């Protein structure tokens, strides 16, 4: 009897976790990297205050349902952490005992699929002895699954603040960026083999994402040009194949105030046997986005025409594990492959981006138009 209103309440919570159409513009900008500003604007919106309350109520119910896995003491959800996706992230911990974990609740079916994937990845990483000590940077799963139709994940909280918080300080910046690349290299070096971009690898790098993009933009001739260019460039090239993070950018990396990495979060796009160079390129593209306040597509368009690295970028590339694929196939081609993966991952998990004209124009069509 008591179950029915509760289910209704949770359904309402799930609906309310979803961004409204009016928010899509904000989301597109956030995804483009201007997150701090947008979050400040978002926090004062009344509809978001209501959504926060709904998200907290849903999280509290899920925490109560998992009391046993969480040690028996009653837990409560705390502060809502701003995100750029269809997932509500809240601090959580024993009542009166501070924040020990993060509870993530998916607001859409696609976000739920991503969250279930993330749980499998986190479990696989912790079970992978090749990673040794590096695993202390990976969140442990305290609980996860589906509760009355809502997919959720409760992760142990890793210490530290977002890496971008320390980047403005020039003294800390170099250490922070190098530490981020070292952590990524530990992931790659521990899990990768010297491989070749054979037909199977090229299918994952080119054929499959091109098919996803065709689903979003239709059968444009530019897609054939991108596919031909990447297939030719990567044809049987030496590449390291291993575990990738899939969304390695400063917003998913935590560090100490001195710039030493303490955690890597948000593993939903991680793959087991992928071209590890894509993670390194994604890190550098998103760093340029932050510095130049440009969108992903704009940075990649520039890389397609000017393949030079700054001294700082070159230094970071030298720290990365595996062969320098950018030297073998050219910076532009690695950037193009990384972009293709990025936009198609986004379109798969957040289908509404496909209908956001500004996002599509700047991040998809701008790049397609540059590939001659």
Q: How far is the CB of 76 from ligand ADP (least distance, A)?
A: 17
* C-beta of 202 vs 245, nearer to Mg ion: 245
In angstroms, the CA 134 to CA 186 distance is 7
* C-beta of 153 vs 223, nearer to ligand ADP: 153
The contact pattern for Mg ion, residues 203-242, with x = CB under 5 A and - = no contact, is ----------------------------------------
* C-beta of 244 vs 333, nearer to ligand ADP: 244
Give the list of residues 6+ apart from residue 21 with CB closer than 8 angstroms, or none. none
81-120 residues in contact with Mg ion (CB under 5 A) are none
Q: How far is the CB of 249 from Mg ion (least distance, A)?
A: 8
Q: Which two tokens stand for residue 315?
A: 């230094």
Strand order in the sheet with 271-275: 193-196, 238-244, 271-275
Q: How far is the CB of 327 from ligand ADP (least distance, A)?
A: 31
Which range, of 14-22, 65-73, 88-96, 246-254, touches Mg ion by CB under 5 A?
246-254
Instruction: Name which of 72, 147, 39 is nearest 103 in CA terms.
Output: 147
Which residues here bind ligand ADP, judged by CB under 6 A? 81, 83-85, 87, 89, 102, 139, 155, 157-158, 162, 251-252, 254, 263, 265-266
Q: Which two tokens stand for residue 221?
A: 């001739």
In angstroms, the CA 140 to CA 85 distance is 21
Stated length of the chain: 372
For residues 296 and 364, the answer to whether their CB atoms sit within 8 Å is no
252-271 residues in contact with Mg ion (CB under 5 A) are 252, 266
Q: How far is the CB of 90 from ligand ADP (least distance, A)?
A: 9
* C-beta of 254 vs 329, nearer to ligand ADP: 254
In angstroms, the CA 370 to CA 144 distance is 43
């Amino acid at each position: 009897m008591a179950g029915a209103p509760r289910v209704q309440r949770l359904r309402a919570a799930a609906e309310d976790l979803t961004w409204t159409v009016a928010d899509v513009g904000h989301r597109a900008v956030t995804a483009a990297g201007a997150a701090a500003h947008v979050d400040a604007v978002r926090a004062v919106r009344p509809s978001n205050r209501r959504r926060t309350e709904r998200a907290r109520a849903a999280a509290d119910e899920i925490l109560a349902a998992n009391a046993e896995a969480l040690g028996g003491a009653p837990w409560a959800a705390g502060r809502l952490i701003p995100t750029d996706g269809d997932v509500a992230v809240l601090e959580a911990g024993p009542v009166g005992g501070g924040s020990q974990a993060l509870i993530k609740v998916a607001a859409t079916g696609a976000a739920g699929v991503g969250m279930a994937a993330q749980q499998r990845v986190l479990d696989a990483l912790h079970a992978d002895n090749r990673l040794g000590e590096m695993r202390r940077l990976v969140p442990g799963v305290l609980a996860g699954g589906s509760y009355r139709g809502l997919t959720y994940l409760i992760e142990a909280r890793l210490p530290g603040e977002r890496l971008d918080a320390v980047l403005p300080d020039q003294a800390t910046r170099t250490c922070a960026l190098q530490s981020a690349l070292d952590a990524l290299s530990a992931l790659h070096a521990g899990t990768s083999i010297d491989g070749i971009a054979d037909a199977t690898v090229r299918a994952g790098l080119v054929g499959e994402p091109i098919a996803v993009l065709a689903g979003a933009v239709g059968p444009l001739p530019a897609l054939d040009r991108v596919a031909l260019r990447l297939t030719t460039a990567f044809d049987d090239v030496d590449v390291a194949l291993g575990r990738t993070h899939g969304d390695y950018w400063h917003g998913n990396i935590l560090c100490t105030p001195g710039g030493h990495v303490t955690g890597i979060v948000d593993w939903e796009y991680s793959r087991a046997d992928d071209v590890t160079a894509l993670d390194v390129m994604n890190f550098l593209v998103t760093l340029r986005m932050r510095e130049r306040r440009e969108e992903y597509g704009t940075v990649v368009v520039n890389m397609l025409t000017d393949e030079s690295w700054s001294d700082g970028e070159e230094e970071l590339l030298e720290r990365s594990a595996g062969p320098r694929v950018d030297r073998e196939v050219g910076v532009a081609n690695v950037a193009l492959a990384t972009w293709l993966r990025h936009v198609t991952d986004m379109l798969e998990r957040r289908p509404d981006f496909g209908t956001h004209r500004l996002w599509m124009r700047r991040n998809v069509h701008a790049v397609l138009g540059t590939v001659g």
